[in-house]
Chains A and B, each alone.
Chain A
Amino acid sequence: DSGVTQTPKHLITATGQRVTLRCSPRSGDLSVYWYQQSLDQGLQFLIQYYNGEERAKGNILERFSAQQFPDLHSELNLSSLELGDSALYFCASSPTGQRGGPETQYFGPGTRLLVL
């Protein structure tokens, strides 16, 4: 158990809908990362937050957004869902996210999203 939690575990919804995925980082970790894992694209970085501020952006669609709250949990919002958004969404956390060198990222169990 990495200490990173994600809810819900599974989500089934319809095209055009909006969902929110939640992530709680390890105790004390300030940085949260979101990744999307799909069968054809592999693991793709979406977005990173550090202590409430957006730190880096990857291949995140405009229909997707995220935020990190004062208690450091993060939410990933996916809207106008399409069939192709079906994937496993992971969050990861690391201690500081500061510019001192790479830190190990610890992954949550993921949320499996199925868009029908």
Chain B
Amino acid sequence: AQRVTQPEKLLSVFKGAPVELKCNYSYSGSPELFWYVQYSRQRLQLLLRHISRESIKGFTADLNKGETSFHLKKPFAQEEDSAMYYCALAPNSGNTPLVFGKGTRLSVIA
């Protein structure tokens, strides 16, 4: 079964501190992983997907197949990063719906 686990419901960091939002997945094949961000219960916005290897708003994520993880990182947190972050998985065998984790609320304290 496909599953995405985000172990932290809430993560509070100080402005300027490094951030790491954890994401672990369970899938027998080779998945595509995504990070979406949601500000104040608005629409979900794609932050990044692992296949594109882009860095958006200073965030990066590396797919670690050995640890089945796709942690989201940023070296220096900013107040505007405060939001809800969702890790999502899509099987690579076709265009199927996303499986989301429960989300982590990031709070950046000034």
Contact = CB atoms under 8 A, between A and B. Distances in A.
Interface of A: 2, 4, 31, 33, 35, 42-45, 48, 50, 56, 58, 88, 90, 92, 94, 96-110, 112
Nearest to A41: B102
B86 interface: yes
B98 A105 contact: yes
A92 B43 CA distance: 10
B28 interface: no
Given A102-B95, A104-B34, 13 more contacts: A2-B43, A43-B103, A45-B99, A48-B96, A50-B95, A90-B43, A94-B95, A99-B95, A102-B90, A107-B36, A107-B43, A109-B42, A110-B43
A38 B46 CA distance: 20
A38 B97 CA distance: 18
Interface residues of B, number: 25
Contacts of B95: 31, 50, 94, 96-103
A35 B98 CA distance: 10
B44 interface: yes
Interface in B54-110: 86, 90-103
13 contacts: A2-B43, A33-B98, A50-B95, A56-B96, A88-B41, A90-B43, A90-B44, A96-B95, A97-B95, A100-B94, A101-B32, A109-B43, A110-B42
Nearest to A105: B98
A28 to B, nearest CB: 15
